[in-house]
Amino acid sequence: MLMWSLLFAGVARGQTTFYLDTTTVSLTDPVSSSWHELYPVYSRMYHMSSWIDTNGDGKLSASDQVDLKDEAGVIRWYHVDAVTTTIFWTFKAPDTGDGAVEPETPTLQLPTNPVDSRWHQIFPVFSRWFTITSWQDSNGDGRFSPSDQFDFKYDGETTIRWAHLDRVSTDIIVTEKPIVPEFALATLMQIALIAAIAYLGFKKLAIKPFKHTN
Ligand SMILES: [Ca+2]
Ligand SMILES: [Ca+2]
């Protein structure tokens, strides 16, 4: 019963998408990097315990597979859907608060000039969209970078909101695979063993002793 409970629990957790960010990963050597969850639960932490470079491009990228260990020490297996960038911003008056968004198309490069670019909000309200309507290159480096200021408009609104770009991080979007390979293998081996025992028991019952007749 425990085995089946674990199996179905694994299946039930499958296909859940997570958005995780970091500022410390080496994309060519991501094992042991730490990741911070943006969605669905903000601020849970993960440790990348293994990586398979499925597409063979030598770096962490979409279609790769990774193991992530959560704060409880549980390791689960994930498919990498995208590797992209997250920007964190703080509203300027009269608005208050902050947020995190990703570019519409996954990329590791922010646009040089962000005006008219589209952004997908991850935090605090998942999946709102906005368009940057103006940009001030506050630090004068000629590109969209931390300490710049920008204003934007959410889809469906007319209000223009003014914000400060606080920081930029690397983001992975991952989908949990139904069960980790080790658990799947152990489960299949247990099922095979039970089936073999049942088959042998059935055979023993089905075979009747041969009696000589004269
Ligand atoms: Ca790769
Ligand atoms: Ca700048």
User: What confidence tens digit (pLDDT) does each residue in 120-163 have?
Assistant: 999 999 999 999 999 999 999 999 999 999 999 999 999 999 99
Q: Ligand 1 centroid vs 52 CA: distance in angstroms?
A: 8
Q: Ligand 2 centroid vs 167 CA: distance in angstroms?
A: 12
Alpha helices, DSSP H only, in the chain?
2-13, 181-206
Strand-strand pairing, 34-39 and 118-123: unpaired
Q: Provide the pLDDT confidence category of residue 11 given band limits of 50, 70 and 90.
A: very low
Q: Is the peptide bond before 103 cis (omega within 30 degrees of 0)?
A: no
Please list, in sequence order, all residues whose beta carbon lies within 8 angstroms of the beta carbon of residue 194, skipping any fewer than 6 positions away: none
12-26, 115-129, 171-185: which range is least confident on average? 171-185
Whole-prediction pTM:
0.78
Angle of helix 2-13 versus helix 181-206 axis, rounded to 10: 140
Ligand nearest to the CA of 135: 2
What is the predicted pLDDT for the residue at 193?
78
Q: Ligand 1 centroid vs 57 CA: distance in angstroms?
A: 5
Cα separation of 86 and 100, whole Å?
A: 6
